[in-house]
């Protein structure tokens, strides 16, 4: 198994794409920059958005739930619009052979003006026959999901065909975005105001990027994880001429990136809690897009995991965070436990000096 270097990496700079998906991709990038920490308002929520878009005229099929945060960075109140924020397809011209589908669902509190969601799903697809003949259909797909109870988010996007016709390239691409945030209230039994306790935090990202045969496909994935004052980011691309993958992280006592398989990336970091109680805002985000015959499939899971020493417990503002989490595989538990042990030894040596 080859480890992934965890030094700071250069910023990814994809070459320009022949598509009107770029404004949407840029918007997703702006949302991803500087993950907001929960805890200033209701303190939790999820958001999902799926877009399938035609590269030639920019016509979109959009499905979204809570795409915009409120002023505190939470995905909750009515400024996000109650219920489904946006759901629709463009009006197709008569006889155009255009097909589209959009769906969005979400569950959570909806009393009064409080619309905090704990789970949401979005799907979008767009197909047309704007190729050489009526049978030349091309399809763009996008899906996104988020669930606080399992600590998982996922995204996928695909574009099955590139067609160099009309006055420029034509293809249907996909763009998907998923986000969850919560506020965790940690308690450390027997601790005093000056007690420093180390815990291990991680996330697992399963999926991959690919290109359909004989296509010039483009696809990217951008994952950002924030835990209190610490964070980690993973970026990968195909067909953009950029190095892949690149990782960056900071604010941890110690951390590690691991390739646990051909399509599985794991991050783990040691974080310090101070005192008997500490409030931590967490945020996990994924954004992906694909076009020109490319595909990105990270819908399975980007899962948050916690390894807590004896005497450390937490509650969440959502009341559901990690209540339905799947037990960790033994190798994942060993990685988290080993990193926590290394962090504890280093802390002990510094105290002895």
Please tell me the predicted confidence (pLDDT) of residue 333.
60
Query: Which pLDDT value is given to residue 29?
Result: 33
| CA–CA separation, 66 and 81 (whole Å) | 7
Report the alpha-carbon angle 186-190-193, nearest 5: 70
DSSP one-letter code for 81: -
Strand stretches in 59-98, DSSP E: 60-65, 86-88
- Residue 154's pLDDT is 96
Show the tokens assigned to 323: 């209540």
* Residue 18: predicted pLDDT: 29
Q: What is the pLDDT of residue 35?
A: 35
Question: Which pLDDT tens digit goes with each residue over 211-259?
Answer: 988 888 999 999 999 999 999 999 999 987 666 788 999 999 999 998 8
Give me the tens of pLDDT residue by residue for the chain, a chain 353 residues long.
333 322 222 222 232 232 333 333 333 332 333 333 333 345 788 888 898 988 877 778 888 887 666 555 655 443 444 444 456 676 555 455 678 888 878 777 655 445 578 888 989 998 887 766 656 788 899 999 999 999 999 999 999 888 776 556 678 899 999 999 898 999 999 999 999 999 999 988 999 999 988 888 999 999 999 999 999 999 999 987 666 788 999 999 999 998 876 678 889 999 999 999 999 999 999 999 999 999 999 998 888 999 999 999 999 988 999 998 776 665 556 555 555 555 444 444 444 44
Burial label, 81 (beta-carbon count in 10 A; 0-12, 13-18, 19+): middle
Q: Determine the Cα–Cα distance for residues 108 and 328; give it in Å rounded to an integer.
A: 26
CA 72 to chain CA centroid, Å, is 20
**Which pLDDT score, from 0 to 100, does residue 73 have?**
60
Q: What is the pLDDT of residues 12-66, one digit of tens each?
A: 223 223 233 333 333 333 233 333 333 334 578 888 889 898 887 777 888 888 7
**pLDDT value, residue 24:** 35
Pairing of strands 294-307, 312-316: unpaired
Considering Cα of 87, then 149, then 70, then 282, what sign does the dihedral take? Answer: negative
């Amino acid at each position: 198994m080859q480890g992934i270097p965890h030094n700071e990496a250069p910023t990814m700079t994809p070459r320009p794409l022949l598509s009107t998906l770029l404004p949407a991709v840029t918007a997703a990038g702006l949302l991803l920059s500087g993950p907001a920490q929960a805890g200033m308002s209701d303190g939790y929520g999820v958001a999902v958005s799926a877009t399938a878009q035609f590269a030639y005229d920019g016509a979109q099929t959009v499905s979204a739930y809570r795409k915009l945060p409120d002023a505190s960075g939470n995905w909750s109140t009515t400024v996000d619009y109650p219920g489904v924020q946006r759901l629709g397809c463009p009006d197709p011209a008569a006889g155009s052979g255009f097909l589209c589908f959009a769906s969005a669902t979400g569950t959570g509190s909806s009393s009064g003006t409080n619309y905090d969601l704990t789970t949401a799903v979005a799907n979008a697809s767009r197909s047309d026959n704007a190729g050489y003949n009526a049978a030349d259909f091309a399809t763009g797909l996008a899906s996104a999901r988020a669930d606080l109870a399992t600590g998982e988010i996922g995204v996928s996007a695909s574009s099955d065909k590139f067609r160099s016709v009309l006055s420029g390239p034509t293809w249907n691409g996909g763009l998907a975005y998923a986000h969850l945030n919560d506020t965790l209230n940690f308690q450390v039994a027997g601790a005093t105001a000056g007690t420093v306790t180390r815990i291990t935090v991680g996330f697992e990202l399963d999926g991959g990027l690919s290109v359909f045969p004989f296509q010039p496909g483009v696809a990217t994935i951008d994952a950002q994880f924030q835990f209190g004052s610490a964070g980690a980011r993973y970026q990968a691309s195909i067909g953009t001429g950029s190095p892949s993958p690149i990782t960056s992280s900071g604010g941890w006592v110690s951390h590690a990136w691991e390739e646990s398989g051909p399509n599985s990336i794991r991050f783990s970091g040691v974080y310090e809690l101070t005192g008997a109680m500490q409030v931590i805002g967490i945020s996990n985000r994924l954004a992906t897009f694909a076009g020109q015959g490319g595909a990105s499939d990270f819908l399975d899971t980007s899962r948050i995991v916690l390894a807590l020493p004896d005497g450390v417990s937490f509650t969440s503002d959502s009341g559901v965070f990690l209540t339905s989490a799947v037990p960790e595989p033994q190798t994942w538990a060993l990685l988290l436990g080993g990193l926590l042990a290394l962090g504890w030894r280093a802390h002990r040596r510094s105290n002895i000096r």
